[in-house]
Amino acid sequence: MPNSRTVSLVTLGCARNEVDSEELAARLAAGGWSLRGEGEDADVVLVNTCGFIQAAKQESIDELLAAADSGAKVAAVGCLAERYGTDLAEELPEAQVLSFDDYSDISSRLDDVLAGRKRPAHVARDRRTLLPVSPVSRQEARAAKAAQPTVDLTDLPPGVAPASGPPVLRKRLAGGVAAPLKIASGCDRRCSFCAIPSFRGSFVSRRPPALLAEAEWLASQGVRELVLVSENSTSYGKDLGDLRLLETVLPELAKVGGIARVRVSYLQPAEVRPGLIDVMTSTPGVVPYFDLSFQHASGPVLRRMRRFGDRPRFLELVERVRSLSPDAGVRSNFIVGFPGETADDLRELELFLSEARLDAIGIFGYSDEDGTEAARFDDADKLEEDEVARRVSEFAALAEEVMAQRAADRVGETVEVLVEEVSGDGRYEGRAAHQAPDVDGSVTLLASRPLHPGDLVTAQVVESDGADLVARA
C-alpha cells in the first residue's frame, strides 16, 4: 500500500489505554501509515475509547461523532468498542467498531475502513471465558491462542521498537519524561459495581524479561519515570506461580540505566503484602507511592461491593506505610451513593478521609453499569440521581479540604522533584515522589541555575496551593 495513508489516533481514558494506543501506533507505522496528531487532518481517525462509567462512554461517543463530522473515515477501538460490539455499531453507523482481537492486524483493518469495506462488528462476549479459570494455566493458553504479528520486525520505522520482544511493538505518542509501562492485563476480582473484567478478561501478567526490555527502550526514548499500570498490580505474578514477583521486579526496573523513578499504580488494599510495602518504601529508585483502591470505608458498603476491609483496617494499612516512610504518598478513589448507603456509612467515610490524610482523593458517584451485579440490586435500595450528585458534591469539597491540608503539612519537607517543563524566569514545573502524572498535584520549582526536563532536583517545600506545592531548589 502507498505511504500516503494517514491516521490520527485519539486516546481517551486511563494510562492502560495510552499504552494500547502506542502499540497500535507502532503497528500502523510499520504497516505504512503516516501518523497525524490529534485534531490534524487525516484519512482515518482511530478513537481508542473508554467504557468505564457513563460520563466516559458519552465522551467516547461524542469524540466518534466529532471525528465523523470532520469528513474522515472513523474506527472505534478500546473498551467501549469491545464492551458493546454490534450494539455500538448499530447506534453509530458512522464508525467501524473493532475488537481487541483486531489489534494485531490493525493496519489491514484500517485499509478496509479507508476503502469503505464495512466489516461486521464483533459480538460482545465475556472475555473471562477465553482463558482457563486457574491463573497458572493462562500463560500457555494465551500463547497458544496469540495471533502472529503481521508486521516485519526486522525493518521498523524510526521511533518504533520491539518494546517487549516480538510481537509487541510500541511507538511513543505523547513524549514527556514519564511513561506508563503495562505489567499485566485483565482482572479476576468480582466487584459488584465494575464491568471491566468482563471486557478486559482474566488477569494475565507480562513476564519480567519483557518488562525490562520495554523499560530499557523507554529509557532510550528519554523516559525518566516508569509508571507501572494494570487493572490490579498487586496480583502481578500469580499466574506465573509467584505472588511476590512484583517485589523482585521492582528493584530490577529501578536499576535500568536512565530511569530515575519507578512508580506503581492500582494496588488492591486486600492484596497489599508487608513484603511489598517494605520493597516500595526501601528500594532506591522505587518511590514510596501507594495508589490504594479503597472505594469506601464502611464495612457494610464494601461487603455489598464484594470487597474487603473497613475504616480501622484501612487506617492500619496507611499507618503501616507511613511508619516505614513518613513522607509516602497515598491516594485513592471512592464511590458515594452506592445502593443502600446510609448516613452511618457516610459518617464512616467522612471519618476515614479526615483521619487518613490522603495526598490525592477522587470522588465518584455511583451509577448502574450494564452487566454488573449492583445494577440488578433492588431499586428500593438505589438513590435518586440528585441525591447521588449531592453526596458527590459534599465529599468532593471534603476531599479538596483534606488534600489542601495534607499539602500544607508538607511545607518545610525536602522533596525530590522531577522536572517536566520549563516555565521561564527561574520557574519550572515538575512532580515530587508523592505525585503521579496527570492525576495528582504538581510542584512549581524555583531555581537559580538552569534546569532541563528530566532533571531530578532536591528542593525544600516553601508553600502550598491546594494540592500543589511550591519548592525552592
List, as residue ranges, the binding site for [4Fe-4S] cluster. Answer: 14, 50, 79, 187, 191, 194
Cα distance between residue 330 and residue 273, in whole Å:
16
User: Which amino acid makes up residue 241?
Assistant: G
Cα distance between residue 134 and residue 254, in whole Å:
31
Cα distance between residue 20 and residue 229, in whole Å:
12
CB 418 within 8 A of CB 430: yes
Peptide bond into 326 cis (omega under 30): no
Residue 166 CB burial class (10 angstroms; 0-12, 13-18, ≥19): exposed
Residue 26 CB burial class (10 angstroms; 0-12, 13-18, ≥19): buried
For 340, the grid coordinates are 443502600
Angle separating helix axes 106-115 and 15-30, nearest 10 degrees: 70
Cα distance between residue 79 and residue 22, in whole Å:
16
At residue 123, what are phi and psi to the nearest 5 degrees? -85, 120
Please report, in range form, the residues annotated as the binding site.
14, 50, 79, 187, 191, 194
